Chain A
Amino acid sequence: MKVLVAVKRVIDYNVKIRVKPDHSDVDLTNVKMAMNPFCEIAVEEAVRLKEKGVATEVVAVTVGPKAAQEQLRTALALGADRAIHVQTDEAVESLAAAKLLAKVVEEEQPGLTILGKQAIDSDNNQVGQMLAALTGRPQGTFASAVEVDGGADDKSLKVTREIDGGLQTVALQLPAIVTTDLRLNEPRYAKLPDIMKAKKKPLDTKTPDELGVSVASGLKRIRVEPPAERQGGVKVGSVDELVDKLKNEAKVL
């Protein structure tokens, strides 16, 4: 079974973001970029499926500017076999990303497509679900366990999902779409020899035009602001004072 795994280039998890003075967006000039953490989990899952003999090939795909090739190389260093870069400098919203990925799914016909549940920049949590809808495939979102029983020719997939208050397990007809949650696995670190080999693995570049998809969006970002700063309050001197304030001043008890 072929596994397609989608990755996104986002601001590094550790970078403290700054809003641009003109409030048009977050300032991304020269900040450190990295692979979205949930996408790292997606790549890890795909590579583990290959190591188990379930996946025969792992193809990494991204939508983004030229520099996003760095994240594809990371995926290749982690164990993906080849990569597809849908290159565009436009801002791509979730729906357009899903449409582009749907075209790639159509071309590649993967048995399983794995995505991160959300990107830590836009925090949308949409693309996997939209891709499932557009391709008519079932979805297993927020996965904490993925099980393909019976080997590579199996027709279904068992996905355990993190839902509010617990876990839900569903069976999906293959081909299917899965999005990853935090507990699915712990991504590995790339090995040095694999980083060096990644340079030589195939990487195809396509454009939205070639795929026949317009990346225009019905959504306009009007402004971006920093959240309201929280001010420190008062110090209390005793448990009694604390309980009293919570009851009579804050009225939360």
Chain B
Amino acid sequence: MSILILAEHHDGQLTEATAHVVAAARKVKESIGGDIDVLVAGENVGAIAEAAARLDGVARVRVADAAVYAHQLAEPLGDLLVALADDYSHVLAAASTTGKNVLPRLAALKDVSQISEIIGVESADTFQRPIYAGNAIATVQSEDALKVITVRPTAFDAVGGSSQDQGSAAVEAVEAGIDNALSSFIDERLEQSDRPELGAAKIVISGGRGMGSGENFKLLEAVADKLGAAIGASRAAVDAGFVPNDMQVGQTGKIVAPELYIAVGISGAIQHLAGMKDSKVIVAINKDDEAPIFQVADYGFVSDLFEALPELEQKL
């Protein structure tokens, strides 16, 4: 049996997350074999399908190109997956807002459980996933014939891709005849920011209560601009009214695991650590050398942030 991956795309581009999910699928494949197919569903998604076809390890790209899939609404996408799922032992998607929205519908309609947000593959039916906001890691085994899985992209290194002239996977169209009378798209407002989205950024720089004010977050922005980093905040900074809640990194905010996380003026409350402790490298800048954040930081710099940040910006 084969593995099907629901591709993740935005604005006519295949997103990086898909390459991470393929990596997870390849780990599954190690124990059961079979092919890895990628499903690209959307409207005018030819270029996306071609990009998916170039991902290492992908055998076939199936393309459902129709207006009904244009905005990745859960109802038609779920039905499409149900129509295709019988050919597969595993269906995977990124644990993105799209994957999380759609995959449980497939699982319910096929009467199987879903395994959410896996961070490890032990075998074709056994996976690791975080529970309790990452404070425990559960190893779960599925006895269902079909495994429906969302994958935390940051937990798997992305597969590479071949260049345009090298060989790539077959691309074929899917005719499923799905319609959708239940829901309709009204509009979408994406953040007009040059910075990457917090949950997907490779580098995140966050400020805490030590920033002193919302105005002072400009110091972080200057560094973030140099690094192409997203900007986050601790709950204390949000509570103090410095920045809006959607910037919050922590147990109740966004959970991030970038390559590099820079915590500035953040003491390191447990709730905050829960949101960033899976980052690959953590840097802490704090004037209090006893701040708990230093206990998780790979590189700690005891310094007044108002001096350190301008200097850092200049030296980068």
Contacts and interface: CB of A to CB of B under 8 A. Distances in A.
Contacts of B295: 230, 232
Given A26-B136, A227-B134, A233 B112 contact: no
Contact of A141 (B74, B106, B184, B303): B74
Interface stretch (A79-87, A199-207, A214-222): A214-222
Interface string A60-103: 00000000000000000000000000000000011100100000
B139 A170 contact: no
Interface string A35-55: 001000000000000000000
Interface of A is mostly: mixed
A161 B10 CA distance: 16
Given A120-B132, A222-B139, A233-B300, A172 B197 contact: no
A235 B136 contact: no
B174 interface: no
Contacts of B227: 253
Contact of B181 (A126, A132, A142, A173): A173
B141 A222 contact: yes
A30 B144 CA distance: 33
B19 interface: no
Interface in B101-143: 101-109, 111-117, 126, 129-143
B158 interface: no
B299 A242 contact: yes
A120 B133 contact: yes
Interface of B is mostly: mixed
Contacts of A239: 301, 303, 308, 311-312, 315
A211 interface: no
Contact of B100 (A125, A220, A226, A233): A125
Contacts of B312: 239, 242-243
Given A142-B97, A168-B188, A172-B183, A252 B105 contact: no
Contact of B299 (A127, A158, A246): A246
A182 B315 contact: no
Given A224-B136, A239-B312, A163 B186 contact: no
Contact of A232 (B73, B187, B294): B294
B62 interface: no
B165 interface: no
Contact of B283 (A26, A129, A217, A242): A242
B298 interface: yes
B296 interface: yes
A158 B187 CA distance: 11
A188 interface: no
Contact of B10 (A130, A165, A250): A165
Contacts, number: 247
Contacts of A136: 182
B236 interface: no
Contacts of A234: 298-300
A190 interface: no
A14 B197 CA distance: 28
B169 to A, nearest CB: 26
B246 interface: yes
A187 interface: no
A225 interface: yes
A208 interface: no
A31 to B, nearest CB: 11
A169 interface: yes
Contacts of A253: 227, 260, 316
Given A218-B112, A234-B299, A252 B259 contact: yes
A164 B140 contact: no
16 contacts: A13-B252, A26-B132, A94-B104, A123-B132, A124-B114, A126-B116, A133-B109, A140-B183, A162-B97, A164-B199, A171-B183, A223-B139, A224-B138, A233-B297, A235-B301, A239-B312
Interface of B: 10, 71, 73-75, 78, 96-98, 100-109, 111-117, 126, 129-144, 181-191, 197, 199-200, 203, 227, 245-246, 251-253, 259-260, 270, 277-278, 280-283, 289, 294-303, 308, 311-312, 315-316
Question: Closest 5 interchain pairs by CB?
Answer: A129-B104, A166-B190, A138-B182, A130-B108, A233-B298
